[in-house]
């Protein structure tokens, strides 16, 4: 059963340089309890999708399409209705935990705040919740951790706090926006393991945004690949990594150090004036004549969704 | 991933330049008034007519207790404000620049000492000290400008220091050092040009502060008796019954002149500093 | 610790300046120390010189001066025929009340309005507010007082013209305080408004604000629970540094409203060139400013954990 339908989501930004199309006609479903990894290069628009789901985009963003959560369209909810969903039913983990936490409040108070806002819990009760949560996130002395400030914690510890916050109210969906960016490999693994363990426990679904293919391969059930604002392929994780369909996917996997280390020729296109036709055609080794002037529509093909004329 | 750094423009670029223009025009008007006071003023400010005349065609802003034409006094008064404001600000900016540049460039002990001095100056209650000094000195307007200049350099010094700390770490300065240029040369040819754009708005704000201070001192009767400033006009109006007798044309116009002049200078300063402009968001 | 040393040093230097001013200024040091109200014969001048210690070396005078300062002995006013410390003490209460109330209201209103204006869109309402405060910012407090006094007390006549009180009842005092506190608060609020507005605009773009939204907080909650505390940090330092400005402003307001406080004392002392009183006032205000800065440092440390760690 799917818990989130994204239909024809398009996000544009008005800037001084022109209109940036960050997300272009993206549609996909997110099943309950599954882990869906959205992968792509930096700047391809994947974080914008994450922020659109909770409507956390700046004022100069224009959104169109639908994001259906149950019977509600998140894009058309009022700020008050959204606030009820944020943090409680859909939570998000950012990539810079130390910047995401308020430097002048104690860690514990920032966790308690969640219970006070959503559950109207008393300060004593929310403090107890927060302390036990810190204990479960592997802090040896949760009482002590409660009284610490973000600046006194390492990046990894703060990321644990953010994960604790994201899971505290048993949300249906957890969005993790590059949660391990900037952490060392060992910590990365630990954090992801922690995330998966609790996600299983709470029966939440996880929407993981990452540019780290290994992480996606290790934990995701399905993988969605993005290129220049569009999703070009969605497939079950084993299928995707064994035999990618889209030429871009094949190129990317070949460019990994564990494979041939062969880069894709050319550079990512500008988001202000993307190439005509298939976005990828200027760099594509297998392009057809049609690719340069017609945009391929997403089609279903052997259990995958793919946006490429080769599979028409 | 695309988080555009540029905020949406409210389409008020035109409006923005319009109010900067207003500031420039206002400033120029006062500047010309001060420069050509003897041509523009309808009367000699010391010439005596009937006292307490309300505004009329003959005397647009009436006369005071001694029968002086108030409009003419106002026009001549702009000279004091301008002289004290600019004089004090030039001195204050010069001191602030030097202290800030040296502290930011040499760092270490020099920085500690200079910033220590700045901190002490920052804590001096400036107006009470000036009142005290002016009481002893029976001052002329250039002494007032000098004293204000010596006391109003601290915030310029702080801003210049933090900027020159930044600049002196940049590559072109480091390469100048490697090429063996003298410190003096580096400070004045490499660092100084990069600091000037933050100094100019600061300078304008110092002009404004100096003008307000001069007006306040004159209001206390501590001004230069040979040059009647706006503050002094208000002082006379206040002590000689202008307020009690509701002679509004006597004390309101000089106050408005102070406000408008300071406003034009402050706005000019803000519109020269893009960041501040964004912060204010009105210009 | 280093901070405390710095404050003590500042205090030491400023009080020393106060010692040297009458001795370095042009004119007779006797006049400079006694005030111009005091005219005496040659013999008594010599006697006075001995009494004031002016015949002793400067160093001895300096040490004696410090002894006096520590005992809060600020000399004798010949114009008022009393000890300077006594005169100042008798005026200090009302001036402090005026300054205290104005700091309270001026900071509160300035900070809250500035925060709301910085948080919201740059709409006509906020632009008007900013322009209003910019005008106040450009107006010397004494002129603002004059206008307010002229309009409200003189023309409309709903407030008393002068003084701190007449009958001494609470409503009487409140009526007398209303306009002066209004002027001073507005003046202070205009500065705080600008600072807070800029500070909030800076904080608005930070990630913790977005995260607070993601946690499910509503707009006002984010502003007042999160952004406000962080943005008020620079305000604390600036209000403390502004104390000197506020007290000076209060002096002028008192003069215009004929309130019998330190401002009026300065005005009278200036007319009589009563230097000991002027010096005493400068000394007291200096101490108030340094103490205020010290307190602000402590408050800053309580609010910002990052500063506390560095101690």
DSSP one-letter code for A309: G
Determine if residue A294 is left, alpha or beta; phi over 0 gives left, psi from -120 to 50 gives alpha, anything else beta: beta
Regarding predicted confidence, which is higher, A176 or C304?
A176
Q: Which of C120, C199, C201, C216 to mutate to test the interface with A (most CBs of A within 10 A)?
A: C216
Regarding predicted confidence, which is higher, A31 or A260?
A31
In this predicted structure, the answer to whether residue C46 has a pLDDT above a threshold of 80 is no
User: Helices C228-256 and B192-219 sit at what angle, rounded to 10 degrees?
Assistant: 30
Chain B CB contacts of A43 below 8 Å? 1-2
Q: Residues A264, A252: contact at Cβ < 8 Å?
A: yes
Give the pLDDT of residue B151.
92
Ranking A186-200, C87-101, C138-152 by mean pLDDT, the lowest is: A186-200
In this predicted structure, the answer to whether residue A29 has a pLDDT above a threshold of 80 is yes
Q: What is the CATH number of the domain that holds C162?
A: 1.10.3720.10
Give the pLDDT of residue C43.
66
- Mean predicted confidence (pLDDT) in C28-37: 67
User: Would residue C298 count as lying in a domain?
Assistant: yes
Q: What is the percent of chain A with per-residue pLDDT over 90, rounded to a whole number? A: 35
Superfamily of segment(s) B21-38+67-280: MetI-like (1.10.3720.10)
User: Would residue C168 count as lying in a domain?
Assistant: yes
Name the average pLDDT for chain C.
Answer: 84
Of A79, A100, A105, the CB nearest to C218: A79
Q: What share of chain C is helix, strand, coil (3-state, %, to 5)?
A: 80, 0, 20
- Confidence band for B9, pLDDT divided at 50, 70 and 90: very low
Q: Nearest residue of A to residue B5 by CA position? A: A15
Q: Which of A15, A41, A50, A268 to mutate to test the interface with B (most CBs of B within 10 A)?
A: A15
Give the pLDDT of residue C237.
82
CA dist C5 to B116, C1, C12, Å? 11, 6, 10
- Mean predicted confidence (pLDDT) in A95-123: 90
Provide ipTM, 2 decimals. 0.88
Of A86, A103, A151, the CB nearest to C214: A86
Ranking C10-19, C168-177, C183-192 by mean pLDDT, the lowest is: C168-177
Q: Which chains touch B (3 or more CB pairs under 8 A)?
A: A, C
Q: Coil, helix or strand for A30?
A: strand
Give the pLDDT of residue B166.
84
Ranking A14-23, B267-276, C7-16 by mean pLDDT, the lowest is: B267-276
What is the domain partition of chain A in residue ranges?
2-89+171-311
Take residue C82 and report the two structure tokens written for it.
Answer: 């009393």
The verdict on a CB contact (< 8 Å) between C207 and A99 is yes
In this predicted structure, the answer to whether residue B278 has a pLDDT above a threshold of 50 is no
pLDDT, tens digit (0-9, with 9 covering 90-100), for C273-291:
888 888 888 988 988 888 8
Chain C CB contacts of B120 below 8 Å? 9-10, 13-14
Give the pLDDT of residue B281.
38
pLDDT, tens digit (0-9, with 9 covering 90-100), for B81-116:
888 899 999 999 999 999 999 898 888 888 989 988
Regarding predicted confidence, which is higher, B35 or A65?
A65
Q: How far is C13 from chain B (nearest CA, A)?
A: 8
One-character DSSP codes across A217-255: HHH-SEEEEEETTEEEEEEEHHHHHHS--SHHHHHHHHH
> How many Cα neighbours within 13 Å face the side chain of A57?
29
Residues 206..265 of C with a Cβ closer than 8 Å to B: which? Answer: 241, 244-245, 247-248, 251-252, 255-256
- Confidence band for C41, pLDDT divided at 50, 70 and 90: low
- Mean predicted confidence (pLDDT) in C120-125: 86
User: Would residue C2 count as lying in a domain?
Assistant: no
Find all residues with CB under 8 Å of C275, minimum gap 6, and list them.
B135, B136, C22, C31, C32, C33, C34, C35, C36, C269
Q: Residues A223, A190: contact at Cβ < 8 Å?
A: no
User: Would residue C165 count as lying in a domain?
Assistant: yes
Give the containing element (helix H, strand E) for A5: strand A2-15
Tell me how crowded residue B137 is: count the other CB atoms within 10 A of its CB: 17
Ranking A119-128, B271-280, C158-167, C250-259 by mean pLDDT, the lowest is: B271-280
If you classify domain A2-89+171-311 with CATH, what class do you get?
A: alpha beta
- Confidence band for C42, pLDDT divided at 50, 70 and 90: low
* Per-residue burial over C274-291, b = 16 or more CB atoms within 10 Å of its CB, e = otherwise: bbbbbbbbbbbbbbbbbe
CA dist C291 to B245, C2, C94, C192, C247, Å? 43, 16, 19, 20, 13
For chain A, say whether C304 makes contact (Cβ under 8 Å): yes
Q: Coil, helix or strand for C258?
A: coil
Ranking C22-26, C43-47, C178-182, C294-298 by mean pLDDT, the lowest is: C43-47
Tell me how crowded residue A222 is: count the other CB atoms within 10 A of its CB: 22
- Confidence band for B283, pLDDT divided at 50, 70 and 90: very low
The verdict on a CB contact (< 8 Å) between C135 and B128 is no
pLDDT, tens digit (0-9, with 9 covering 90-100), for C197-208:
989 998 988 999
In this predicted structure, the answer to whether residue A175 has a pLDDT above a threshold of 80 is yes
- Mean predicted confidence (pLDDT) in C136-155: 88
The verdict on a CB contact (< 8 Å) between B246 and C150 is yes
Of A87, A105, A151, the CB nearest to C215: A87
Of A83, A96, A102, the CB nearest to C230: A102
Give the pLDDT of residue B15.
54
d(Cα A73, Cα C260) in Å, to the nearest integer?
Answer: 67
């Amino acid at each position: 059963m799917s818990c989130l339908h994204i239909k024809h989501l398009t996000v544009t930004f008005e800037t001084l340089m022109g209109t940036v199309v960050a997300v272009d006609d993206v549609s996909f479903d997110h099943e309950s309890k599954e882990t869906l990894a959205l992968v792509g290069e930096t700047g391809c628009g994947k974080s914008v999708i994450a922020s659109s789901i909770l409507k956390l985009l700046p004022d100069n963003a224009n959104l169109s399409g639908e994001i259906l959560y149950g019977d509600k369209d998140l894009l058309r909810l009022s700020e008050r209705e959204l606030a009820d969903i944020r943090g409680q039913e859909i939570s998000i983990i950012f990539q810079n935990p130390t910047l995401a936490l308020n430097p002048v409040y104690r860690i514990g108070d920032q966790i308690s705040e969640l219970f006070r806002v959503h559950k109207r819990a008393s300060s004593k009760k929310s403090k107890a919740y927060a302390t036990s949560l810190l204990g479960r996130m592997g802090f040896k002395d949760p009482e002590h951790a409660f009284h610490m400030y973000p600046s006194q914690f390492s990046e990894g510890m703060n990321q644990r706090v953010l994960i604790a916050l994201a899971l505290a109210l048993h949300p249906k969906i957890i969005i993790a926006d590059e949660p391990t960016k900037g952490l060392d490999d060992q910590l990365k693994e630990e954090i992801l393991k922690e995330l998966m363990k609790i996600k299983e426990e709470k029966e939440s679904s996880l929407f993981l945004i990452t540019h780290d293919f290994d992480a996606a391969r290790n934990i995701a059930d399905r993988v969605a690949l993005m290129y220049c604002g569009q999703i070009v392929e969605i497939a079950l994780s084993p299928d995707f990594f064994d035999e990618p369909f889209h030429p871009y996917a094949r190129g990317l996997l070949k460019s990994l150090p564990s494979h041939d280390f062969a880069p894709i020729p050319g550079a990512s296109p500008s988001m202000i004036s993307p190439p005509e036709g298939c976005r990828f055609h200027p760099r594509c080794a297998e392009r057809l004549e049609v690719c340069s002037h017609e945009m391929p529509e997403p089609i279903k093909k052997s259990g995958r969704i793919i946006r490429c004329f080769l599979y028409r | 991933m695309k988080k555009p750094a540029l905020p949406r423009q409210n389409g008020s670029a035109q409006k923005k330049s319009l109010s900067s223009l207003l500031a420039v025009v206002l400033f120029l008007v006062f500047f010309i008034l001060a420069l050509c006071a003897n041509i523009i003023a309808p009367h000699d400010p010391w010439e005596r007519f009937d006292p307490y005349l309300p505004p009329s065609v003959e005397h647009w802003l009436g006369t005071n207790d001694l029968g002086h034409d108030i409009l003419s006094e106002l026009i001549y008064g702009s000279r004091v404000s301008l002289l004290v404001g600019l004089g004090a600000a030039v001195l204050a900016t010069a001191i602030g620049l030097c202290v800030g540049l040296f502290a930011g460039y040499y760092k270490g002990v020099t920085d500690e000492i200079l910033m220590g001095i700045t901190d002490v100056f920052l804590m001096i209650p400036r107006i009470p000290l000036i009142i005290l000094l002016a009481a002893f000195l029976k001052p002329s307007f250039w002494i007032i400008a000098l004293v204000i200049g010596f006391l109003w350099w601290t915030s310029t010094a702080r801003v210049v220091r933090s900027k020159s700390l930044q600049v002196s770490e940049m590559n072109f300065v480091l390469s100048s050092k490697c090429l063996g240029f003298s410190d003096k040369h580096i400070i004045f040819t490499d660092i100084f040009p990069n600091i000037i754009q933050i100094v100019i708005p600061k300078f304008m704000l110092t002009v404004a502060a100096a003008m307000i201070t001069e007006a306040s001192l004159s209001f206390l009767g501590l001004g230069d008796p040979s040059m009647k400033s706006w503050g002094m006009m208000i002082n006379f109006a206040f002590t000689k019954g202008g307020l009690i007798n509701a002679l509004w044309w006597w004390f309101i116009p000089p106050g408005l002149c102070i406000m408008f002049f300071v406003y034009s200078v402050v706005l000019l300063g803000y519109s020269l500093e893009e960041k501040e402009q964004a912060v204010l968001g009105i210009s | 610790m280093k901070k405390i040393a710095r404050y003590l040093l500042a205090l030491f230097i400023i009080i020393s300046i106060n010692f040297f001013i009458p001795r370095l200024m042009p004119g007779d040091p006797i006049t400079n120390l006694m005030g111009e109200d005091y005219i005496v014969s040659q013999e008594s001048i010599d006697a006075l010189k001995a009494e004031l210690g002016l015949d002793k070396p400067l160093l001895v005078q300096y040490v004696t001066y410090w002894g006096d300062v520590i005992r809060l002995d600020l000399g004798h006013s010949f114009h008022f025929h009393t000890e300077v410390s006594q005169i100042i003490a008798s005026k200090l209460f009302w001036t402090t009340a005026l300054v205290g109330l104005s700091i309270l209201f001026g900071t509160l209103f300035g900070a809250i309005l500035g925060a709301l204006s910085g948080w919201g869109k740059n709409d006509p309402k906020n632009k008007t507010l900013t322009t209003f405060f910019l005008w106040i910012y450009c107006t010397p407090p004494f002129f603002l007082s004059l206008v307010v006094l002229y309009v409200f007390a003189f023309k409309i006549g709903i407030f008393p013209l002068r003084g701190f009180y007449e009958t001494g009842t609470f409503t009487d005092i409140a009526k007398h305080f209303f306009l002066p506190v209004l002027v001073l608060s507005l003046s202070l609020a205009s500065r705080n408004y600008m600072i807070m507005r800029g500070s909030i605009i800076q904080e608005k773009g930070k990630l913790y604000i977005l995260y607070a939204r993601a946690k499910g907080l509503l707009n006002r909650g984010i502003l007042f629970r999160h952004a406000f505390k962080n943005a008020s940090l620079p305000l604390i330092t600036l209000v403390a540094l502004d104390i000197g400005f506020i007290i000076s402003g209060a002096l002028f307001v008192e003069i215009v409203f004929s309130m019998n406080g330190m401002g009026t004392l300065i005005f009278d002392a200036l007319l009589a060139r009563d230097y000991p009183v002027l010096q005493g006032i400068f000394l007291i205000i200096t101490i108030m400013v340094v103490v205020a800065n010290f307190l602000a440092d402590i408050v800053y440390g309580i609010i910002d954990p990052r500063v506390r760690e560095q101690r």
